[in-house]
Structure 1
Amino acid sequence: MKNKKIWVFLIFSALILILARYFNLGSYLFEEKGINTLKNIINENYILAAGLYIVFTAAACVLLALPGLTFAVAAGILFGPWAGSILCLAGTTLGAVLSFAAGRYFLKDAVKPMIEKNKLLKKVIFTDKPENEIILLMITRLLPVFPFNLQNFAYGITDISIVKYTMATFIFMIPGVLLFTLATSGIINETERADLFFIVLIIAAVMVLLSVYVKRIYKKINSPKEEAYEK
């Protein structure tokens, strides 16, 4: 039964990749000609273009080992700073949830040995304290020290609920998505460059401060003796 689940996922993934290859979907985000084509689609049918972006981003999160910032950069180029941020957040959140579900319901036995080989990832992701779950998600989303795709699959084999994971992922990815999408838009948009870069600097500073603060909370939760000593 366990092997059947893996085969179902692999067959489904293969079909998606075949269709993506047949329709050359990758070119829409990673080749100049494809990007120009998608820009034309945006001008003619904005909703269709936005839907294509979300679908491709979600699928790529599950099937392709691409850095998370790839999708934010593409969104910033195609849709601008604010609409791009919203669409990127929608696509990456959907992709993260799909990866989580795949890890939990189809690939648990295949993913777990891979995660356990990475001592640092195992130490950070796996926790027997419920209060750590949100804190860990906040740390890894604000300052992703591990690949975006691997994180998503890894969380799928933990005990965190899919509802808590989805909500926390959506909220804690907002700063990172805004950071890269606005930065990309600022690079290609001279008229709004100064304003966008100013906002990017503020977001980056807030992310660093939040990460340091949350890491301290995490250490205190896991070091009660140290906490008592500090008090």
Structure 2
Amino acid sequence: MSDSKIPGTTVGVDPEDTKKEKKNWWERVFTVDVLFSPNIWIFIFALSIILLLGWFFGNRIFTEITAAKNWFQDEAPFSIIVYYIVFSLCALVLIPYGPFCIAIGFIFGLWWGLLIQIIAIILSAALLFFVGRYGFKDKVEEVIYKSDGSNVWKGLMRYMNKDWKEAAKINLILCFMPIPFGSHPYLFALSAVPFDQFVLVFVVGMIPSTVLNLLIGQALEEATAPEGTNIYHIAGTCLAILGTIIAVWYASTIAQEVLDEADQEYEATERDRLVP
């Protein structure tokens, strides 16, 4: 009697075993040993400090930039060059992107602000990318590969390196995730993705959130003006916020799929390596 083949499965493979292999990546990474590891709590503490400092300095930065509105407008383009330097240095230490962008929208409005911010994104991304790739890539890889979650990291790197389309997918997803601006170029600096491929997709992916922040800044400026706020700008800002929420939700749904595929990529590579 011949073995019957169940649709969607491979002959000789138990479907239950297949289901067991398709565990979520966090079930593999966040084991009891990992959760009670001092390293993971040190990382969480350090990340919390960075976020708190980012929030504090972000508010201060917004206040200082908007207070210097007349100087920025009167001293352009010199003031814009100063802004690029400050923005890039703050991105190095993961200061949030939003306060800068909102402040530029407050001072220059949407269209000039968009041009200024696109150049700022390119310059800061170049700085962070090359600092990450040539400054501490080897050290970071050494630390990560010794950690309990190294299999996910290796799978993600292989997934990003195997095809420029897959790298672009991850690049776009990260643009809609609530992570510090500076961490994005750092992540790609640790991969083998060329800078030109990274920065092109990165700029495109950052445009929606940039437009949203610029609209918020422009609306804040109009609220302080004698003629009041333009109702069309308020409507545009609300639509941009709604669109960003939908984009973040969609990005989070496919981020899990990407991580699962990266994990499977790593396991398949390991099996091929072990087979004589």
TM-score using structure 1 length: 0.68
C-alpha distance in 1, partners of 2:233/2:144? 38
The alpha carbon displacement at 1:169 in A equals 0.8
Alpha carbons 2:101, 2:213 under 8 Å: kept = yes
Q: How does 1:93-104 map to 2 (within 5 A)?
A: 93-104=122-133
- Bigger helix fraction: 1
Question: Is 2:174 the counterpart of 1:140?
Answer: yes
Q: Secondary structure at the match of 1:168?
A: helix
Which residue in 1 is equivalent to 2:43? none
1:88 matched residue in structure 2: 117
| Residue pair 1:77, 1:184 contacting (<8 A) in 2 also | yes
For the pair shown, which has the larger CA radius of gyration, 1 or 2? 2
Among candidates 198, 201, 206, match of residue 168 of structure 1: 201
For 2:45, the equivalent position in structure 1 comes to: none
C-alpha displacement at 1:208, in angstroms? Answer: 4.7
1:57 to 65, 87, 92: 87
Alpha carbons of structure 1 residues 137 and 34: separation in structure 2 relative to 1, 3 Å: closer
Does the alignment pair 1:75 with 2:104? Answer: yes
Unmatched runs of 5 consecutive residues or more in structure 1 = 1-25, 224-231
Q: Is the 8 A contact 2:65 2:103 kept in 1?
A: no
Structure-2 change in CA distance of 1:207 and 1:34 (3 Å): closer
**CA–CA separation in structure 2 for the residues paired with 1:93 and 1:151:** 13
CA distance in 2, matches of 1:46, 1:134: 35
Distance 1:163 1:189 in 2: 38
Give the conservation status (yes or no) of the 8 Å contact 1:139–1:215. Answer: no
Q: Which one of 37, 42, 46 corresponds to residue 72 of structure 2?
A: 42
Alignment correspondent of 1:3: none
Residue 162 to residue 197, structure 1, CA distance change in 2 (3 Å): same
Match of 2:231 among 194, 215, 219: 194
User: After alignment, is 200-209 or 212-221 more displaced?
Assistant: 212-221
Deviation at 1:214, TM superposition (A): 9.3
1:215: Cα distance to partner?
5.3
**What number of residue pairs does the alignment pair up?**
194
**Aligned equivalents of 2:149 and 2:211: distance in 1?**
31
CA 30–194 in structure 1, closer or farther in 2 if over 3 Å, else same? same
The normalised TM-score by structure 2 is 0.59
Q: What residue in structure 2 maps to residue 4 of structure 1? A: none
Identity across aligned pairs (percent)? Answer: 16
